[in-house]
């Protein structure tokens, strides 16, 4: 159903002239017919757009709910993972503590064994030092006796030579 366009205003007819106003009127009518949308079509498009807007709003709500659900699940999984990691961390610490205790125990045993062996070596060195001290004392005594004997012999020989020279 085609509606007639209103007549061109008189001021336009006076300015342009009746012929130019008629041409302008026809040109506008052609443009409007080619590019304009009828009211019922416009209302149909608007109703469809309203439906689409409502559907988009529903989708937006669903996506928001989905985000909340995913966030809740992620938080739940994250807290579960945190608990697991904490449990694994404590188990690892317990294992390391046991291993550390065992290693320390072995090192203590090795340290005591090494100390025993060092004590035995020190005892041997002490006995060896005692023997060296005894040998030193005996050598010192023997050297004193030897020097004393030599000095006594030298003195005796000197006296005998002096007696022999004066006689």
| Six token digits for residue 55 | 């559907």
**6 falls within a domain:** no
Q: Which domain holds residue 106?
A: 37-166
**13 falls within a domain:** no
Count: domains in the chain: 1
**58 falls within a domain:** yes
- Check: CB of residue 28 under 8 Å from CB of residue 5: yes
pLDDT digits 0-9 by tens, 75-128: 888 898 999 999 999 999 999 999 999 999 999 999 999 999 999 999 999 999
Distance CA 5, CA 28 (A): 9
**79 falls within a domain:** yes
**21 falls within a domain:** no
Distance CA 152, CA 9 (A): 168
Q: If you compute the radius of gyration of the chain from its CA atoms, what whole number of angstroms results?
A: 63
Torsion, CA 94, CA 99, CA 101, CA 107, rounded to 10:
-170
pLDDT digits 0-9 by tens, 6-57: 677 888 888 888 888 888 888 888 888 888 878 888 898 889 999 999 999 9
pLDDT digits 0-9 by tens, 120-157: 999 999 999 999 999 999 999 999 999 999 999 999 99
**96 falls within a domain:** yes
| Strand, coil or helix: 8 | coil
**2 falls within a domain:** no
Mean pLDDT for the chain overall: 90
**19 falls within a domain:** no
Spell out the residues 6+ positions from residue 64 whose beta carbon is closer than 8 angstroms to its own: none
């Amino acid at each position: 159903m085609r509606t007639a366009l209103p007549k061109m205003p008189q001021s336009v007819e006076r300015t342009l002239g009746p012929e130019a106003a008629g041409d302008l009127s026809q040109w506008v009518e052609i443009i409007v017919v080619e590019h304009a949308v009828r009211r019922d079509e416009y209302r149909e498009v608007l109703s469809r757009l309203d439906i689409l807007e409502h559907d988009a709003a529903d989708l937006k709500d669903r996506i928001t709910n989905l985000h909340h659900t995913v966030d809740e699940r992620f938080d739940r999984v994250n807290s579960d993972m945190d608990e697991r990691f904490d449990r694994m961390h404590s188990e690892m610490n317990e294992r390391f503590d046991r291993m550390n205790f065992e290693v320390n125990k072995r090192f203590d045993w090795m340290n005591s064994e090494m100390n025993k062996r060092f004590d035995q070596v020190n005892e041997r060195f002490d006995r060896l030092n005692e023997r060296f001290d005894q040998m030193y004392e005996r050598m010192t005594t023997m050297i004193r006796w030897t020097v004393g004997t030599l000095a006594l012999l030298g003195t005796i020989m000197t006296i005998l030579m002096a007696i022999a020279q004066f006689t």
